[in-house]
Amino acid sequence: MVKLNKIYTRTGDDGTTALVTGPRRLKHDLRVECYGTIDETNSVIGVARLHTQGMSVLDQMLFRIQNDLFDLGADLATPDTGEKVEWEPLRIVQSQVDRLESEIDTLNAGLDPLTSFVLPGGSPAAAHLHVARTVSRRAERLMVDLSKMEDEVVGAPALKYVNRLSDFLFVAARHANECGKADILWVPGKNR
């Protein structure tokens, strides 16, 4: 269980932060940027949930995702260096990816097929879910960059999860737009 008695420690005043395993990294380090952007995604989902409280199924899915995103942040903040640690690090696992895929399928089943790209917007819930989708895509790009760096490891389930997350958020936005009926469709060249 996490226990936080004091919020400020002053240890980051020099522009560094500690990973779970102890080493300090600069606050603009790519690994820190990754889990910071996951935290940003989680926060945007929290704002979206202000507008999904009447949509119990979707809201519960988003709540589970918020918890998963803390797991993902812990995964990223605990690099797999191959060294033995005294505890089992928290990692994203395939069952979390599988659940996300199942929830995408559940939400998508009630949507009409798309005939055009969807413009972000519609209901307040959908608009915020589209913002969350774009932030999660940024997190994914950063995580892929990190995974390609020498001496940096990002687990395959973590990469799969963040990739599915943006798909989920897209489908969730359509679901929040009256199951796609209130989607705003792109009309190519409309304003020429």
* Beta-carbon contacts of residue 150 (< 8 Å; ≥ 6 apart): none
Please say if the pLDDT value at position 109 is more than 90. Answer: yes
Tokens of 47: 């704002």
Tokens of 66: 């918020």
Instruction: Tell me the torsion sign for CA atoms 42, 47, 52, 54.
Output: positive
Please say if the pLDDT value at position 127 is more than 80. Answer: yes
The pTM is what?
A: 0.90
Q: Which of 26-30, 115-119, 156-160 reaches the highest mean pLDDT?
A: 156-160
Please say if the pLDDT value at position 190 is more than 80. Answer: yes
pLDDT band at 22 (very low <50, low <70, confident <90, very high): low
Which regions of 89-192 does DSSP assign to beta strands (E)? 118-119, 184-185
Per-residue confidence (pLDDT) for residue 172, from 0 to 100? 98
The domain limits of the chain are 23-79+90-185
Rounded to an integer, the average pLDDT of 121-125 is 96
* Beta-carbon contacts of residue 191 (< 8 Å; ≥ 6 apart): none
Tokens of 7: 């919020």
Q: How far apart are CA 29 and CA 18, in angstroms?
A: 11
Per-residue confidence (pLDDT) for residue 80, from 0 to 100? 82
pLDDT band at 4 (very low <50, low <70, confident <90, very high): low
Any idea what the Cα angle at residue 30 is, between residues 27 and 35, rounded to 5°? 80
CA 165 to chain centre: 6
Per-residue confidence (pLDDT) for residue 14, from 0 to 100? 67
Per-residue confidence (pLDDT) for residue 19, from 0 to 100? 63
* Mean per-residue pLDDT over the chain, rounded: 91
Give the range among 8-12, 111-115, 146-150 with minimum mean pLDDT. Answer: 8-12
Instruction: Tell me the torsion sign for CA atoms 105, 110, 115, 117.
Output: negative
Given a contact cutoff of 8 angstroms between Cβ atoms, the answer to whether 57 and 69 are in contact is no
Tokens of 152: 């940096």
Per-residue confidence (pLDDT) for residue 16, from 0 to 100? 66
Per-residue confidence (pLDDT) for residue 79, from 0 to 100? 86
> Is domain 23-79+90-185 in CATH 2.40.50.70, yes or no?
no
